[in-house]
Amino acid sequence: MNKVILVSAIAITLLSCGKSKSSHSTVDTSEMKEIVPSDKEKGPISFFNHTSEMKEIVLSNDSVIYLEDWVQDLEVIPLESLGNVLVGSIDGVIVTDEHIVIYDQRQTHSVFIFDRNGKHRTTINRRGRGPQEYASLGHVTLLPDNKTLVVSDRNGGKVLYFTTDGRFISDTQAKFWFNSMEYVDENSVIFATYGAGEQDPGLQEYENRTDLLYFTDNKFGIKSSTMPPRYRRNQIVITPTIRKFGEQVYVHRPYSDTIYQALSDGLKAAYRVDMEKIDGIANLNPDITFDEFKLLQEKNVVFHGGFTDSDNYLNLSLPTLPHQYLNDYLYSKRTQKGYRVENKGSSDHVIFWFLNLPQTSFGDRFVTVVNAYRLMTTGSFNSETGVQKTAAVQRPELASLTENSNPVVIFYSFKEGL
């Protein structure tokens, strides 16, 4: 098993990212080493060896676009509600040519499958300790064929496979503890862990068991790993974010300014986010304490890993100062410019109030899923007429919503002028 190579290219990239007003933004490169795999015939593994195509994104609060002016192809789809088929929490969304999949980890512990028109097809609810069951619903994704659902069992230590009509296919025992996973291709899988390798029985014979990111084959045998824990205080979140959009898998280390694309042979630096103009900091001092970290966030923007990639745009969700509310920034791949995204707060178009923090994308469109009660209750109230303007009132397709309705899926894209 090979430790991945941290080549000098990434050191150059990170060193260029450390400019900040905060003393805690210093980039530490002491752990970056170039290590040759033991199997020299296969050559070096090219982790972090691709930076030539990395896109630089400069964020600013001066460049503002309004959703009402730039959104197009708005499609609103209420998900069918059938008595006992009700989504609790929206913990993940997957969209394919044929299906909309929503999984609920915290309330119903279920995977809900709808067609693209919102009609309910089936629900996977197999919580338990027996065969074909999961003890705790974890991450849900798809095999590269887009026809097989992959359901991870956080507490049961296994991965289950289902057809998109809910039929159980098989399961595979996981070899180590993990938080999330994605298939890079049919033969390569990437796992993000909690950094508990010293206590994980499945990693005791692996030399670099404290790493946070593991590349495996499709039987979950470890091929290589990277991202040793940067922060030495256990109160600070260290688990990398893994996101999949279309066929592309991306990785982000918490509080860094770089988003990587996962390849079968490593990580490619895809985006570097320059947050200096919005009082952002990144790549914090490894010795930062939790109290220092909390104080730091009160006066600085920190990128926690909220992002959604589409064909033409990258959406970034970052806290705003001083209240730390999340706000969207949009990077256009067409113009290579970054924008702060706002809505005008118009009471005539309340649906635009909900076009933020998209959960996923499909092609060139972003996808956000909104609980029905929010669409029914959020809006403007005229005290003189006693009329409340809400999205449910203004949109004909939402007229039948009730407090017991399933969420609503909203697709939207942006005009070409950006």
| SS3 assignment, position 398 | helix
Instruction: Note down the domain range covering 312.
Output: 2-414
CATH number at residue 189: 2.120.10.30
- pLDDT for 347: 82
**How many Å from the N-terminal Cα to the C-terminal Cα in the chain?**
46
- pLDDT for 15: 27
Better pLDDT: 19 or 295: 295
274-320: pLDDT as tens digits: 999 999 999 988 889 889 988 888 889 999 999 999 999 999 999 98
Quote the percentage of the chain above a pLDDT of 90.
68
Is the separation of the CB atoms in 5 and 224 below 8 Å?
no
23-58: pLDDT as tens digits: 222 333 333 333 223 333 333 333 444 456 899 999
Prediction pTM value: 0.86
Quote the percentage of the chain above a pLDDT of 70.
85
325-351: pLDDT as tens digits: 899 999 999 999 999 999 998 888 899
pLDDT band at 385 (very low <50, low <70, confident <90, very high): low
CA–CA dist 268, 289 (Å, integer): 30
Q: What is the pairing mode between strands 55-58 and 266-274?
A: parallel
| SS3 assignment, position 65 | strand
Residues in the chain: 418
Residue located via tokens 């005791």: 204
Neighbours of 166 (CB within 10 A): 15
- pLDDT for 43: 31
Mean pLDDT of all residues belonging to the chain: 85
Q: Which amino acid is at 277?
A: K
Structure tokens at 41: 């015939």
- pLDDT for 383: 63
Structure tokens at 43: 């050559």
Is the separation of the CB atoms in 28 and 286 below 8 Å?
yes
pLDDT band at 258 (very low <50, low <70, confident <90, very high): very high
Burial class of residue 404 in the structure, from the number of CB atoms within 10 Å of its CB (0-12 exposed, 13-18 middle, 19+ buried): exposed
The pLDDT of residue 390 is above 70: yes
- pLDDT for 51: 56
Mean pLDDT, range 119-137, rounded to an integer: 93
Cβ-count burial 266-276 (b if 16+ within 10 Å, e if not)? bbbbbbbbbbb
Task: Report the domain count for the chain.
Answer: 1
pLDDT band at 195 (very low <50, low <70, confident <90, very high): confident
